[in-house]
Amino acid sequence: MIVYNFTKDSKLRNYGFYRPGSSNSITEPVTLAEAKAHLRIESSDDDTYITTLISVARGICENYVGFLLAYNDSLTYYLDRFPDRQEIILYGISGLDSGTTVIKYNNKNGVLTTFDATKYNSDEHSIPSRIFLKDGESFPETDSYTPSAVQITFEAGLQGYSMPKPLYQAILLTIGHLFENRQNVVVGGKGYDIPQTAEYLMNPYRVISI
């Protein structure tokens, strides 16, 4: 079951959306060796296929829980304008690396400008990740005729040490499900893209509403 696709779902544009940069590199939370051990496969005949399944399974699980599981080193989050409140909520983002965060915006004259990094703090621990204005600071005005006028670039995603074991196991179970079943498993007329056990493991971490 897919709840929110934060990368492509147009209904989330009012909340912002993110895109990977052209040079984005993804560090998968499950390695090829770990996936093969789970599948009990020793030969290298299916290595390319299993590598693809790792990425697909991780993406399925990300859409289910509603935030990043793989680490990305070049993401840009877009907003049409700065929010009225004192924080920016980066829906779909987890494990924000505050040291890499850069906020740019099109000012009232349409000129792309960098927002002073001394005026805000980044929350690396919350899911979704957040950016807070410091006391006494305010967001600048943007060009109202420029869509996606605010562009926030950063590195983000759960790394190995911060990946909850149930989510790691859910990805492995989904890899096994995809490897064994080349199409949906149908039980009682209902198709399953994700093993039910994987759903149970992910449910406590799931972002339900926005």
Per-residue pLDDT in tens (0 to 9) along the chain, 210 residues: 334 445 445 445 557 889 999 999 999 999 999 999 999 999 999 999 999 999 999 999 999 999 999 999 999 999 999 998 899 999 999 999 999 999 999 999 999 999 999 999 999 888 899 999 999 999 999 988 888 999 999 999 987 668 899 999 999 999 999 998 866 554 444 445 688 899 999 999 998 654
CA-to-CA dists, residue 31 to 40, 70, 113, 160, angstroms? 14, 11, 39, 11
Give me the pLDDT at residue 189, please: 45
Separation of alpha carbons 38 and 32, rounded Å: 10
Distance CA 178, CA 194 (A): 9
What's the maximum distance between 2 C-alpha atoms anywhere in the chain? Answer: 61
Write the CB contacts of 49 (distance below 8 Å, at least 6 apart in sequence): none
Note the pLDDT of residue 1. 34
The predicted model scores a pTM of: 0.83
Confidence at residue 141, expressed as pLDDT on a 0 to 100 scale: 93
Whole-number pLDDT of residue 157: 93
